[in-house]
Structure formats: structure tokens, C-alpha cells
Amino acid sequence: MNIEIREITSENLKEVLSLHVSETQKSYVESTKQCLKDATECNCYRPTGLYQDGIMVGFAMYGFFPDEDGNGRVWLDRYLIDERFQGKGLGSIMLEELITHLIKIYNCNKIYLSLYEDNQRALHLYQKFGFHFNGELDINGEKVMVNVL
């Protein structure tokens, strides 16, 4: 199995816009169209396509967000596996690849994300990879999780 994380370009834009989650998951993650709009409004975001054997199966958007102290945080802000490819273990495979990717490009020792606590599937996945709640809430009221690497 060949796994790749590719930047979103004009060549794969149509593919990324066709990705979607199930109806029951839509309240947990923004559409890829909204994510790309957010990325144009904030240059900290890096939207990417997640590929298995040359096929886009998911989407992630991450970035480094500086703070007032000159430090900052690496955030895995958006993450989804397309509905058609769920239930095949790709959530774990892609998350492991993303964590490795973020460590490599940002040389970080912590990765942050946030989620609604009732998103039990995502919560279980993130906990499996060592993420835990840190007591913070993000600007949308989601609980912040951190993975200390």
C-alpha cells in the first residue's frame, strides 16, 4: 500500500471537492469546500489530499499557528476520510502518516486538534494515538486534545 500526502492544486481540486463524510458526520467537520475557503483566508492552513495507491481517500488541513510569545502550536485542524473509504482502517493508517509528516515538516513535539466530545469514533481514534484532552476549548467550543510526542 502506497500512502501519500499531497498539497491541493488545480490538478486535484475537483477530487478534493468530491470528498464527503456521511450525513451523521457532517456536524463534526466542515466540507472540503469550506476548508479550502478557510485556507484562502488564513495562510497558516495547509490543505492536503490523502492518497492510497494514487486514489484520494481523504483530506487533512494542518498548520503552524504562532502565538504572541513567538512560539506557537502545530494543529491538525481538519481530518476526514471520504464516506466511500471508511471502515477499512484508513483512519488509523492516514493519521499515523499525518503525525509522522507533521513531526518531519514542523520538527514539533506536540500536535493539537479539537473535536466535539460526542464524536466518539474520532475520539477513540485520537486516543489510540496518544491524544488526550488538555482542559482547553477552542473558539468553536470544541475540546482541545494534544499529543506530546
What CATH code is carried by the domain that includes residue 61? 3.40.630.30
pLDDT digit string, tens, across residues 62-111: 999 998 887 899 999 999 999 999 999 999 999 999 999 999 999 999 99
Cell 477552542, residue located: 138
Q: Which three-class secondary structure state does DSSP give residue 120?
A: helix
- Overall domain count for the chain: 1
Which residue in 45, 51, 62, 126 is the catalytic one?
Answer: 126
What pTM was estimated for this model as a whole?
0.95
Domain extent, residue 29, equals: 3-148
pLDDT digit string, tens, across residues 13-33: 999 999 999 999 999 999 999
Q: Which three-class secondary structure state does DSSP give residue 131?
A: coil
Q: What are phi and psi of 43, to 5 degrees?
A: -75, 0
Please say if 126 is a catalytic residue.
Answer: yes
H/E stretch holding 36 reads helix 32-41
Tell me how far apart the alpha carbons of residues 115 and 141 are, in angstroms, rounded to a whole number.
9
Give the torsion sign (CA, 22, 61, 54, 126).
negative
